[in-house]
Chain A
Amino acid sequence: MNTAAEHDARLRERFPELDLSVTDALDMPTIVVPAARIVDVLTFLRDEAGFTMLTDLSACDWHGRQPRYHVNYHLYSLDSSGRARVKVELADEPEPHVPTATPVFAAANWHEREVFDFFGIVFDGHPDLRRILMPDEWIGHPLRKDYPVGGVPVEYRIEPAYVGENVVPRDTRPAAGGVPVRLRRDRGRLSHMTWTGPPASGVPVHKPSQAEEISEEGKDS
């Protein structure tokens, strides 16, 4: 019913020029489609193969490999309960482009905004391509592998707001045992990619400066 071989034959018949191959992945048949023809293939799968539902659209950054970005469309057929994954592979560019799938599946709207937000992949023709989960003024695309974890400066200072008589400011109190606590912010952690070299340009990397190595009063003692 929902085998790779069956889809393979039908897709080859319909798109002879694309040389599509459907492979049986671990979970579902997977089709790799060139970005320019994604709308045609999705329309075909919706109208003629019964995949009436786009359940998920996400991306994956295979940093260090070529092609770097994969955009995965997970389709579902209500009739046969079958699934299929359509994959678009994109080269390592600052702004990869894919045509939008919103005319085919309205569900793609927010999912494409999410992929744009987190990966910087631009969906051409999207009705309202804005950031969706990150703030509008955010710089960089956080789920790219060269975007550091914890690379965001956190706004806190150790400056007692109120120091009265006989009141030891909470932040300068020695920790248990009388040893002053040395607070330090862990910076520049990359998500298991630390050895891949400097991040791509455009991604703000916060370099710890001396001021941020916050120490307590009496650190010399």
Chain B
Amino acid sequence: MTIDTRDVWVEDETMRVNMGPQHPSTHGVLRLLVEVNGEVVVNVEPIIGYLHTGIEKQAETLNWIQCVTDITRADYLSNFFNELAYCVAVEKLSGVEIPPRAQWIRILLCEFNRISSHLVWLATGGLELGAMSMATYAFREREQILDLYQAITGTRMNHAYFRPGGIALDIRPDHEQQIRDLIKVLSARFVEYEEFLASNPIWVQRNKGIGILKPEDAIHLGVTGPALRASGIAHDLRKVSDYLPYDKFEFDIPTGDVGDCYDRFLVRMAEMHESLKIIQQAIDTMPTGDFRASGKLVPPPRNRLPVSMEAVIHHFKLFTDGPHVPAGEVYVAVESPRGELGYFVASDGRGRPWRCHIRGPSFTNLQIAPLVAPGYLLADLIAILASIDPVMGDVDR
């Protein structure tokens, strides 16, 4: 057998190597076609689509309530944000306002989700750069957060807990103590982790000055989230949008100066502290009252079913046919752990979404790899990729 070397060796002595799709440091099934000159990266071409599961097409076959179970699987590390963006879009189309308690619970769980997602980034990012123990520590804390999800929603991942019009179940009084205990544990641990890594000379050397993303490039490429903030632009949708009442909470937007991998690390670490602050305020000011809106979008209260024929009809119609959402189209963006997660939802007035497009932040952010990686070593590409923190479920959907 002869080997065709035309694809392997290019005239100027650079070499093309495939990194992935089965590579432990590509965060899933990302394939990078890397052109290297010795150890130096000349060009990177991300090749995606290995995890494409047709979530958007599937959403068109499900009714408005079932759809939550589908789209929650898109970004599988931040399920609540998928559900949030979708539910806010459906509520906007239907003109439904959700009660304060539902908003507070959404904020509470979303901020926990931001932490649990960042913990996976910390664990895998540390693992890839040689800080092996980080993986065990960060996953230990994530596990406690997943236990909380399980207690509240019934599932560790893919919760389908946010529903159009509110949430599926109310939180119980005993959850409050669990949350307060968890806040104490986490706030102490985050300080430890930051010291642990920031005082590690190898970690600092492998991150500082690597993968610098200039702010103007970030804007041009539509980069959002921690990657944009690390480049010095204090843009956070929680501060400027009204999808949830974040204006009632006090928190800061951490930003970086240089826009290198180290800044992205610092920004994410600081964000976890800010999220804890929000959780603390949310649990302290948790309103009482209903956990979902009234109306045709949500099921009738259980105690109405034995006494009201209308409630029975409503219940039956809702779970067989699904609610009918007025025709229209809406784009809702929320600040997910990776950046702007946008849902473009269109309805034709019937029982299923006509179109449900997911603008995954990882998809757009991954476009910076060919821009920032050239000139660095192949090993630095791993650090750059880890600092972008793409989730392939979000990229490929």
| In the assembled complex, B329 has its CB within 8 A of some CB on chain A | yes
Out of A74, A78, A81, A109, name the residue touching B331 (CB < 8 Å): A74
| In the assembled complex, A110 has its CB within 8 A of some CB on chain B | yes
Asked whether, in the complex, the Cβ of A191 is within 8 Å of the Cβ of B60, the reply is yes
The smallest beta-carbon distance between B299 and chain A, in angstroms, is 23
Asked whether, in the complex, the Cβ of A110 is within 8 Å of the Cβ of B359, the reply is no
The chain B residue with its CB closest to the CB of A114 is B363
Asked whether, in the complex, the Cβ of B219 is within 8 Å of the Cβ of A60, the reply is no
Asked whether, in the complex, the Cβ of B58 is within 8 Å of the Cβ of A149, the reply is yes
Which chain B residues numbered 373 to 397 have a C-beta less than 8 Å away from chain A? 396-397
Asked whether, in the complex, the Cβ of A26 is within 8 Å of the Cβ of B328, the reply is yes
Asked whether, in the complex, the Cβ of A56 is within 8 Å of the Cβ of B359, the reply is yes
Q: Which of B112-120, B220-228, B248-256, B274-282 contacts A (4 or more CB under 8 A)?
A: B220-228
Asked whether, in the complex, the Cβ of A189 is within 8 Å of the Cβ of B61, the reply is yes
Could you say which residues of chain B place their CB within 8 Å of the CB of A189?
Answer: 61
State which size class the interface on A falls in. 35 or more
The chain B residue with its CB closest to the CB of A78 is B235
Could you say which residues of chain B place their CB within 8 Å of the CB of A61?
Answer: 355
| In the assembled complex, B367 has its CB within 8 A of some CB on chain A | yes
The chain B residue with its CB closest to the CB of A65 is B348
| In the assembled complex, B77 has its CB within 8 A of some CB on chain A | no
Asked whether, in the complex, the Cβ of B48 is within 8 Å of the Cβ of A56, the reply is no
Could you say which residues of chain B place their CB within 8 Å of the CB of A28?
Answer: 331
Q: How far is the CA of A55 from the CA of B240 in the complex (A)?
A: 15
Asked whether, in the complex, the Cβ of B57 is within 8 Å of the Cβ of A149, the reply is yes
Which chain A residues numbered 67 to 114 have a C-beta less than 8 Å away from chain B? 72, 74, 78, 81, 83, 85, 105-107, 109-111, 114
Out of A74, A78, A81, name the residue touching B219 (CB < 8 Å): A78
Asked whether, in the complex, the Cβ of A133 is within 8 Å of the Cβ of B48, the reply is yes
Interface-central residue, B61, B220, B357, B364, by most chain A CB under 10 Å: B357
Asked whether, in the complex, the Cβ of A27 is within 8 Å of the Cβ of B330, the reply is yes
| In the assembled complex, B263 has its CB within 8 A of some CB on chain A | no
Number of A-B contacts (CB under 8 A): 104
Q: How far is the CA of A72 from the CA of B343 in the complex (A)?
A: 12
| In the assembled complex, A143 has its CB within 8 A of some CB on chain B | yes
Out of A26, A72, A131, name the residue touching B92 (CB < 8 Å): A26
Asked whether, in the complex, the Cβ of B344 is within 8 Å of the Cβ of A74, the reply is yes
Assess A132 versus B49: contact at CB under 8 Å? Given A106-B367, A143-B56: yes
Could you say which residues of chain A place their CB within 8 Å of the CB of B397?
Answer: 133
| In the assembled complex, B123 has its CB within 8 A of some CB on chain A | no
Assess A72 versus B49: contact at CB under 8 Å? Given A26-B92, A28-B331: no
Interface string of A124-138 (1 = CB under 8 A from B): 000000011111000
| In the assembled complex, A42 has its CB within 8 A of some CB on chain B | no
Q: How far is the CA of A53 from the CA of B233 in the complex (A)?
A: 13
| In the assembled complex, B340 has its CB within 8 A of some CB on chain A | yes
The smallest beta-carbon distance between A2 and chain B, in angstroms, is 11
| In the assembled complex, B212 has its CB within 8 A of some CB on chain A | no
Asked whether, in the complex, the Cβ of A135 is within 8 Å of the Cβ of B359, the reply is no
Q: How far is the CA of A94 from the CA of B346 in the complex (A)?
A: 23
Interface-central residue, B219, B220, B331, by most chain A CB under 10 Å: B331
Interface on B for A, CB 8 Å cutoff?
48-49, 52, 54, 56-58, 60-61, 92-93, 219-222, 224, 233, 235, 240-241, 328-333, 340, 342, 344, 346, 350, 352, 354-355, 357, 359, 363-364, 366-367, 396-397
The 9 A-B residue pairs with the shortest CB-CB distance, nearest first, are: A107-B222, A81-B240, A133-B49, A191-B60, A56-B359, A58-B357, A133-B52, A60-B355, A27-B330
Since A25-B329, A55-B359, A58-B344 are in contact, a sample of 18 more A-B pairs with Cβ atoms closer than 8 Å, ordered by chain A residue number, is A25-B330, A26-B328, A27-B331, A55-B342, A56-B359, A60-B346, A60-B354, A72-B329, A74-B331, A74-B344, A110-B367, A111-B364, A133-B48, A133-B49, A134-B52, A142-B54, A143-B57, A191-B60
Interface on A for B, CB 8 Å cutoff?
25-28, 52-56, 58, 60-62, 72, 74, 78, 81, 83, 85, 105-107, 109-111, 114, 118, 131-135, 142-143, 149, 189, 191-192
